[in-house]
């Protein structure tokens, strides 16, 4: 792996929506790399609540304070996206032991698909360990306050989305 590839990391995910836990990982990782690319996966199979363009824009707003962080949407195999970016590191978050088995499988598959890319696991600060995008979506969908779990623009977008879907015939 070239030195340039080692200085570029990709943090992939659906980010539906980006949470304070995701932002915390970016805050921790941004100083470690010359460039950190947040790859927002289209993931139509997951049936995201928010469209890709909106998830990308919300992520950009959430991490705008980091000049070396960029946000890009993608709809390809992660291995292809990582190669296109020229990254040598995949960044993944681990909230709890329950995340490890799935993340270990992903890391092993990625090692086969892109053997010159290393996976780096980071853990969020303790106050974010319980936050997941799916829990945030469910709380928002049921009219709960998610402002403590997501950046302000995300809370507003979720509220608008669920208001829109409740009003739809």
108 is in an annotated binding site: no
129 is in an annotated binding site: yes
Which residues are known catalytic residues? Answer: 22, 46, 95, 133
132 is in an annotated binding site: yes
Rg from Cα positions in the chain: 16
134 is in an annotated binding site: yes
165 is in an annotated binding site: no
13 is in an annotated binding site: no
46 is in an annotated binding site: yes
Rounded to 5°, the CA angle 14-143-39 comes to 10
100 is in an annotated binding site: no
Q: How far apart are CA 34 and CA 62, in angstroms?
A: 19
Sequence-distant (≥ 6) Cβ neighbours of residue 68 within 8 angstroms: 30, 33, 34, 35, 36
Nearest Cα neighbor of 21 from 158, 111, 144, 148 is 148
Identify whether the C-beta of residue 6 lies closer than 8 Å to the C-beta of residue 87: no
Q: How far apart are CA 8 and CA 24, in angstroms?
A: 18
103 is in an annotated binding site: yes
158 is in an annotated binding site: no
As a dihedral over the C-alpha atoms of residue 141, residue 147, residue 148, residue 149, rounded to 10 degrees, the angle is 50
Q: Which residues are annotated as a binding site for substrate?
A: 14, 46, 78, 92
- List residues forming the annotated binding site: 14-15, 22, 46, 78, 92-95, 103, 128-134
């Amino acid at each position: 792996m070239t030195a340039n590839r080692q200085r570029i990391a990709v943090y992939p995910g659906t980010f539906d929506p980006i949470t304070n836990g995701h932002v915390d990982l970016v805050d921790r990782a941004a100083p470690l790399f010359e460039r950190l690319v947040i790859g927002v996966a289209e993931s139509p199979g997951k049936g995201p609540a928010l469209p890709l363009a909106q998830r990308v824009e919300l992520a950009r707003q959430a991490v705008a304070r980091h000049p070396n962080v960029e946000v890009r949407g993608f709809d390809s195999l992660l291995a292809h996206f990582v190669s296109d970016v020229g990254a040598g590191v995949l960044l993944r978050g681990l909230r709890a032991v329950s995340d490890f088995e799935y993340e270990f499988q992903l890391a092993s598959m990625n090692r086969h698909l892109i053997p010159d890319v290393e996976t780096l696991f980071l853990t969020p600060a303790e106050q974010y360990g319980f936050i997941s995008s799916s829990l945030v979506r469910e709380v928002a969908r049921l009219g709960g306050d998610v402002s403590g779990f997501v950046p302000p623009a995300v809370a507003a977008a979720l509220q608008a989305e669920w208001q829109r879907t409740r009003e739809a015939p």
